[in-house]
Structure 1
Amino acid sequence: MSNSIKEKISNVIRQWDGPLTKELLREPAKYGLGQVPEKLKPDSTTTLVCGFCSTGCGLNVHLKDGEAVNLTPDTQYPVNLGMACPKGWEALAPLNAKDRAKSPMIRTKNGKLVEVDWDSAMKRMVAEFKNVQSKYDDEAVAFLSTGQIVSEEMAFLGALTKFGMNMIHGDGNTRQCMATAVVSYKQSLGFDAPPYTYKDFEESDVIILVGSNLCIAHPIMWERVAMNKHNPEIVVIDPRKTETAVAGTQHYPIAPKSDLAFFYGLANQLIEQGFIQQDYIDKYTNGFEGFVEHVKEYTPEKVEEASGIKADQLQKLVDTIAAGKRVSLWWTMGVNQSHEGVRVAQALINIALMTGNFGRPGTGANSITGQCNAMGSRLFSNTTNLLGGHDFANEVHRTKVADITGVPVDSIPEKMGWAYDQIIDGIASGKIKALWVIATNSAHSWINQQSFRDIIKKLDFLVVQDMYHSTETAELADMILPAAAWGEKTGTFINSERRYGMVKKVKRAPGQALSDFNIFKLVANYWGCSEMFKKWTHPEAVFQMLKACTKDQPCDISGIKDYQMIDSCGGIQWPLLEGEELQDHERRLFADGKFHHPDGKAKFLYEEPRKALEVPCQEYPSWLLTGRGTSSQWHTQTRTKNSSVLTKLYPKDIYVEINAVEARQLKIEPSEWVWVKSRRGKLKARACPSYHVQEGQVFISMHYPECNYLTFPSFDPYSRQPSYKACAVKVSKMEYWE
């Protein structure tokens, strides 16, 4: 970074940082400005958590001349115990990519993106956004955030936009993966509180995996299953015979979108046969009597009609659960990404509650998170709740957050704003005219992709803030802001088991790229609201405020002293209350049977299954299933495609798994190009005949950009999460002239 650029940035921060300036100039890397922190010796090793998935593995990063040059898994970190998946081993490679965004860029009238300095970029962005708000109203500007940046940056963004810039509407891409789990836990347990620890994988004697391809999506968690010494039954409930289903001991290939009927039928049989814990139900739950009446109609015959699972197969699962002393139920996107995902997740919670499988080692209804910091987003992004799990509509909560963060209480809105799909609809209807997209690639990942691309063109101004200038979304942008990546900045992630872990700056960000934290500082200054955020000086200062926000909440971390404590303890799970001694690396919730509703009890929640809005028909006879492809791919591949090692581990071309019998009927040969069509679009893919998918079903990996040109935009009514997992398609042979 040139001295002139550094001076400009320093001058901006100096205007409202006061005493921080000398520290900034002495340790610029601490604030994202180009040097490795002095406290990391030039040739040494430090530990930080991986920046890919929610597992949150500890990695030893090895430095030479102050720069990260290699890494190894941390053998002492309680999450991965010396193991790493292919992505973890290659975590440094994407930082050196040729398509890194190194300078702010603005699209000119001739349509080209040209490099500009930060001063020009900030003036233009602020002018465009303020002009939109002046011409329309404050709600005409919105943001879409991520589960990929550190918690302190998420909090700063959510506070800056909603408190300082008067943006009502903002959401994160965690809406695409975890919103269902959030709502399910809140409604059933009273707070978004995944109860488990990874040790539970080792303690269960029955492990039930629902819509979760653990071997591929979370391979280190599967390694924890492999460490189980209890010879567990590993039950996989999934329409497709996934790698995990092959490795398990029982597989129930239910029909797509039959989950709710299947689990109500399972619950009915457990109740009828007396395999429940009535004492636990009476003492710790509400609503069981109504649930009993509700599931009575879900007989084995009705379950078979809906799901294809025969009565004797259902009975085998009933017997397996009944024989288990420690039964754990785990789910991920196969449940969450559904038109009725909240009620499906709650059907699993209901089964765990009524069998007394809660709060003990090896038990629980356990949602597995997707992104590295989706849990941080759930607590601190100011999208689905006010900072620290508080309620925007609660005056006491708003006052508490205002007092801690130093923002005026009247600047905190009394409502959350729109969810992701509502923001997209707002753009389509002309209510939203400017959009700020941070560390997410909506033009690949959002459902019904062609519609999204048509809608996004209606914006007056689109800003994309990312580590790459080449993402599908950045290619549509009017402005690109270059952001530092994982390993180029400091902060905390929260993993799937609620563990805070450290991210550290071990490498220089390229060119003029800044940490997202410092970009938000610049925006605040140019917007004119920097005085509101005078306490938000650096990431650890924000962490201390977030810690204070959690006090007396279920996620209370007032007992965590500072970053150093997190680092030295190998990460720390929430909650940890002030004065509490940290005695164990792994701590589960609800051991005392006390839940987070006012009466301290959990709720049984249920309703009739909803019909999927699109099902196979004569014209489109197959269900399209989507999911993770390989453990070496990640989301929209913006990072994994920049590792020469990882790209050798997965197919270059998009492929479609089709049942081998149907492939023969259609005279489709392995690896030949075929068409896959839906009502919304079509793609060509390599055919992969297989018995892993049933007749009438096909599977496509979500990592390829073409996939979401097919998907149907339906949403869960409670979580507003998209239903990526099922729509109607037709596979046809490609003629030689096509």
Structure 2
Amino acid sequence: MSARVATTCPYCGVGCGVLAGVDALGTVSVAGDPSHGSNHGRLCVKGAALAETVDLQGRLLHPKLRGPDGAFFRTGWDDALDRVADGFRRVIEQHGPDAVAFYVSGQLLTEDYYVVNKLAKGYLGTANIDTNSRLCMSSAVAGHKRAFGEDLVPGCYEDIDRAELIVLVGSNTAWCHPVVFQRIAAAKEAGARVVVIDPRFTATCESADLHLPVKPGTDVWLFNGLLSFLFQHGVMDASFVDAHTLGLAQALAAAENDAPEPAVVAKACGVQLSDLLAFYRLFARCEKTVTLFSQGVNQSSSGTDKVNSLINCHLLTGRIGKPGAGPFSITGQPNAMGGREVGGLANMLAAHMELHDPVHRDIVQSFWASPRMASQPGLKAVALFDAVLEGEVKALWIMGTNPVVSLPDADRVKRALNACEFVVCSDIIERTDTNVHAHVLLPALGWGEKDGTVTSSERRISRQRPFLPAPGEARADWRIVCDVAKRLGFVEGFEFETPQQIFVEHARLTSFRNHEACDDGLPAAPRVLNLGSMSALTPQGYANLAPVQWPVNEHGEGTQRVLSDGRFAHPDGRARFVATKARAPVHAPDAEFPLVLNTGRVRDHWHTMTRTGKSPRLAGHISEPYIDMHPHDALRSGVREGELARVQSRWGAMVARVRHGGDVLAGHVFVPIHWNDQFASDARVGGVVNPVVDPVSGEPEFKHTPVRIEPFPVRWYGFAFGRRFLPASELSYWTLIQGERFFRYELAHRERPGDCGAWARAWLGVNDPDADWLEYEDRTTGVYRAVHVLDDRIDACVFLSSRPDLPSRQWLSSLFARERLEDIDRAGLLIGEPPGAGVDTGPVVCSCFGVGRNTICEAIRKEGLDTTAKITATLRAGGNCGSCVPELQRLIAESRAATEA
């Protein structure tokens, strides 16, 4: 094993440290870094499975151009870069700089973000550069800036450990930020109380002392009511408010107008008055309160007001910048914050400066010595793609993201790319829903190959270091941008040779003229983002850079908490209470679309699955897209659990399997965001989501789209396993799942084959009439099973039925690990069930250790396991990342209920 490299996980914004290494056979291993302050050695299952995602299957390894026939062909870097530079130059010469745009990603490193932002705003002269962080964090950014004067997260993870009360708002932390959730669980064990505010009963709610299932969109009512309650009961830090804030009277007036008394709030939010008062009294009583919020707050047409209504309560009580207290935005992507530091959003400049401020524009342009500077904010994500469709933006460069899947009204995004004159995509995966629309494909480096920095939710800058060689002709994103910039004539501003040189320039800019007046003539408070001392980093110092939280002082020491001195980043140094107005979502359900769609993540997948979709371990927990809905709504919609249904909105439709997970209230449905055209036939929920955005932040309304659910009739259901890809695209429904040594497909079709045997042979590619072929058919029940055995090993199989209740996939998947099928296995395949008790471990619950539901339930029953700790001691389940602990708790409760019955 080579020496392990200290790097950072590429998933969520927790920013966990990872130790990665490669042995002599090229096998990659990963483990949590015990010395990293974000995780102290812990990893969630996604981080633990990173080694399964770094193979080169599906990688884009060479530059490619689209030919006249629409097919891509390989070319050299010089040709590809010339094509990009010529395309952008032509559009700018004919239509001006605002006819070009960039759409980038929180997956980029800070150094990548810096150079592309510099090129767009300071050299091309357009602010048309936005990022997929707009889709998850921009409401938090806008709320921070309104309240604090700068995009600041005041606290740190240690505050969770110290808190008396932890309030989780719109965050399924157990699944989306499992390492943070472990801190929450530990704090609860130490006596902290936990309140979860979420329309769904998620895995996080299993461990809560109180769950408030508020109606989607009613958070402002809730927190305006809390503000009024606190003020009316004298729970206020008057000295802090008087000395360090402005605007309380206006915020209180707005709050009391919306929420004159708790009963009004309870009715508006759809919660029990007793539960609401229990929350308000807990908040009033607990001085050390941390309020963690995420996408359920941000992804809303009133997301910024939700953020500020929450922050107002912390300002009133002075619970900010103190150990164990503060509002805390937990970030969705590994470098969403790093991108914001260097101006990656269309309305920002680098170093937390404001694009609308002429003084700030002059500071940045002077520092860059750039020929021009964008003078007005650019197009935010949704508006950007509207402008592409309307022909206003004619050249677009997309980096490390998949907007045809992730943006709302995603079919409109697809039409926009088809209409665009010139589309460039930098990516690590060759075939994505977005890349198929490109004119130029540029191969980028992926995690394990990239070299640079990222910033976590607690402002902690960490290094991502390479431990794998660059595959094929892949290059760093910053280098690709610099090469294009030079071809556009901007040599002097882009002569970087290493990421260290870029980071040092970024650090210098954060301290450059950092006390100058704003355009209103008031003396400026210094920007809190200050990395000035890091501008002296040598190449060796950068190579050895230890994780550090900004701002960084002159001695290179980081800062755990900001705003603890009561000095805010507004020119007068005071925080602002923001008057927030409660309002209903823009589109209300009606007779045609009577249900409300909410979207979000599942535990073991990430974004559009280009990484996690490669991991058999991560595919085991939830293997196909689903529609989670209340049984009463299913009955009214004419659909059944286990069958397929279509989700239809005014903007689009998708198909998935119905389930009743018990997570959603009547009138609501939930669909995960991850599946796309590479992994399923028709499961892009982004095509269904309405494109309404928050008027301040531009963040889309992913949590509230009126929809209807209708049956998706099919004649047969099925599944198939094969050691190679199978041609599923002609079927009415399919989902692809990566397994260990196999590919698995869930299938359904509107027409049943006339001859199942002939169809199965042709579809599985079994052409030899003398092949070892096992099959069974019962035409009365519509059941058909066929298995191809090659050299005594199972090669492929297909199971069909007129009903969706098919045999266990877990048992069948285990057969692909065997070097030889026994006679008893062949018999089991023909009868469609495992031969003997204990063979079928059931659906995976603990992905870290591959422990199935049946195994856990059997152990609970036989050995009387009545705590999750006992399950862990017996089966290891729940003993690593802990994200399955809520599910283990549910299985214990179900077993207890069954026994008592």
TM-score by length of 2: 0.74
Runs of 5+ unmatched residues, structure 2: 515-526, 677-683, 716-749, 751-901
Residue type at the aligned position of 2:234: G
Q: What's the counterpart of residue 390 of structure 2?
A: 429
Contact 2:402 2:608 in 1 (8 A): yes
The answer to whether 1:463 aligns with 2:424 is yes
1:325 aligns with 2:287: yes
Does 1:154 find its partner at 2:113? yes
- Contact kept, 8 Å, 1:160 with 1:524, in 2: the verdict is yes
Shift of 1:43: 2.3
Question: Aligned partners of 1:683, 1:601: CA distance in 2, in Å?
Answer: 48
SS in 2 for 1:546: helix
Q: Which residue, 637, 642, 653 being the options, matches 1:682?
A: 653
Q: Paired residue for 1:99?
A: 58
**CA distance in structure 1 between the partners assigned to 2:243 and 2:27 by the alignment:** 54
Answer whether contact 2:212 2:271 (CA < 8 A) is retained: yes
Q: Which stretch of structure 1 is more off in the superposition, 164-173 or 74-83?
A: 164-173
Q: CA RMSD in A?
A: 1.9
**2:691 is matched by which residue type in structure 1?**
P
**1:262 offset after TM fit, Å?**
1.8
Check 1:147–1:272 CA distance in 2 against 1; reply closer, same or farther (3 A cut).
Answer: same
SS of the equivalent of 2:351 reads coil
1:357-376 matches, cutoff 5 A: 357-376=319-338
Of 523, 541, 555, the residue aligned with 1:579 is: 555
- Deviates further, 421-430 or 204-213: 421-430
Q: 2:601 aligns with which of 623, 628, 631?
A: 628
The answer on 1:701 being equivalent to 2:672 is yes
Shift of 1:655: 0.3
1:227-257 Cα shifts (integer Å, max 9, x gaps): 2254111100011101111221110001111
The answer as to whether partners of 1:658 and 1:697 remain within 8 angstroms in 2 is: yes
Is residue 663 of structure 2 the alignment partner of residue 692 of structure 1? yes
CA distance in 2, matches of 1:618, 1:332: 31
Residue 648 (1) aligns with residue 652 (2): no
1:645 is matched by which residue type in structure 2? Answer: R
Aligned-partner residue type, residue 252 of structure 1:
L
Asked whether the equivalents of residues 203 and 230 of structure 1 are also in contact (C-alpha less than 8 Å), the reply is no
Q: Answer yes or no: is the 8 Å Cα contact 1:449–1:708 preserved in 2.
A: yes
Cα drift, residue 399 of structure 1: 4.5
Which whole-Å CA distance do the structure 2 matches of 1:170 and 1:581 have between them?
32
* Correspondence 1:239 to 2:212: no
Give structure 1 stretches of 5+ with no counterpart: 1-41
Q: 1:401 matched to which residue of 2?
A: 364
TM-score (normalised: structure 1): 0.90
**Whole-Å Cα distance in 1 between the matches of residues 696 and 379 of structure 2?**
13
Tell me, yes or no, if structure 1 residue 720 matches structure 2 residue 698. Answer: yes
| Matched residue SS, 1:241 | coil
CA distance in structure 1 between the partners assigned to 2:26 and 2:348 by the alignment: 38
Task: Give distance in 2, aligned partners of 1:699 and 1:394.
Answer: 41
Could you tell me how far 1:369 is from its partner in structure 2? 0.9
Q: How has the CA–CA distance of structure 1 residues 382 and 710 changed in structure 2, closer, same or farther, with 3 Å as cutoff?
A: closer
Q: In the TM superposition, what whole-angstrom CA distance separates every residue of 1:159-209 from its partner, at most 9, and x where no partner exists? A: 123333344411111111111111100111111000110111111110011
2:575 maps to which of 602, 605, 609 = 602
Q: Would you say the 8 A contact 2:153–2:328 is kept in 1?
A: yes
Q: Residue type matched to 1:672 in 2?
A: E
Task: Report the alpha carbon displacement of residue 65 of structure 1 after superposing the two structures with TM.
Answer: 5.3
Structure with the bigger RCO (C-alpha within 8 Å, sep 6+) is 1
Q: Counterpart in 1 of 2:528?
A: 554
Distance (Å, rounded) in 1 between the aligned partners of 2:313 and 2:504: 39
CA 1:576–1:238 in structure 2 vs 1: closer, same or farther (change >3 Å)? same
- Cα deviation digits, residues 468-513 of structure 1 (max 9, x gap): 1111110111110010112212110001100000011111121111
Q: Which residue of 1 aligns with 2:485?
A: 524
Partner SS state of residue 231, structure 2: helix
Cross-structure match for 2:586: 613
Structure 1 distance, partners of 2:546, 2:26, is 23
Equivalent in the alignment of 2:13: 54
Higher deviation after alignment, 167-176 or 707-716: 167-176
1:8: which partner in 2?
none
State whether structure 2 residue 505 is matched by structure 1 residue 545.
Answer: yes
Instruction: Answer whether contact 1:675 1:733 (CA < 8 A) is retained.
Output: yes
The answer (yes or no) to whether the contact 1:67–1:506 under 8 Å persists in 2 is: no
Contact 2:131 2:344 in 1 (8 A): no
1:500 paired residue number: 461
Larger radius of gyration, structure 1 or 2? 2
Match of 2:100 among 135, 138, 141: 141
1:339, 1:723 within 8 Å by CA — same for their partners in 2?
Answer: yes
Q: How far apart, in 2, do the equivalents of 1:165 and 1:666 lie?
A: 53
Residue pair 2:382, 2:691 contacting (<8 A) in 1 also: no
> Relative to 1, partners in 2 of residues 1:528 and 1:568: Cα closer, same or farther, differing over 3 Å?
closer
After superposition, the C-alpha distances for 1:568-594 in whole angstroms (9 at most, x for unaligned) are 574000001213645xxx711111111
- 2:62–2:473 CA contact under 8 A, matched in 1: yes
TM-fit CA distance, 1:151: 0.5
Q: Where do 1:229-308 residues align within 5 Å?
A: 230-297=190-257, 298=259, 299-308=261-270
Residue 737 of structure 2 corresponds to none
Aligned-pair identity in percent equals 30
Could you tell me how far apart the structure 2 residues matched to 1:674 and 1:173 are? 29
Is 1:710 the counterpart of 2:688 in the alignment? yes
The alpha carbon displacement at 1:95 in A equals 2.5
**TM-superposed deviation, 1:330:** 1.1
Give the one of 565, 579, 588 matched to 1:592.
Answer: 565
Give the Cα–Cα distance (whole angstroms) in 1 for the partners of residues 395 and 190 of structure 2. Answer: 55
The one-letter code of the counterpart of 2:713 is: E
CA contact (8 A) 1:236 1:244 kept: yes
Letter in 2 for 1:676: V
Give the secondary structure class of the aligned counterpart of 2:353.
Answer: coil
Contact 2:122 2:365 in 1 (8 A): no
Q: Is residue 625 of structure 2 the alignment partner of residue 662 of structure 1?
A: no
Match in the other structure for 1:69: 28
Aligned-partner SS, 1:698: strand
What's the CA shift for 1:281?
A: 1.5
| Aligned mates of 1:643, 1:507 — CA distance in 2 | 18
Deviation string 1:374-417 (CA, Å, 9 cap, x unpaired) is: 00111114533221112334454344434544x33x42223332
Which is further off, 608-617 or 393-402? 393-402
Cα distance between partner residues in 1 of 2:322 and 2:61: 50
Equivalent of residue 354 in structure 2, options 388, 391, 399:
391
Q: Is the 8 A contact 1:97 1:642 kept in 2?
A: no
Partner of 1:354: 316
Provide runs of 4+ in structure 1 moved above 6 Å: none
Q: Deviations over 1:545-581 (max 9, x none)?
A: 1111111421112233537657757400000121364
Residues matched between the structures, number: 689
Q: Distance in 2 between matches of 1:516 and 1:727?
A: 35
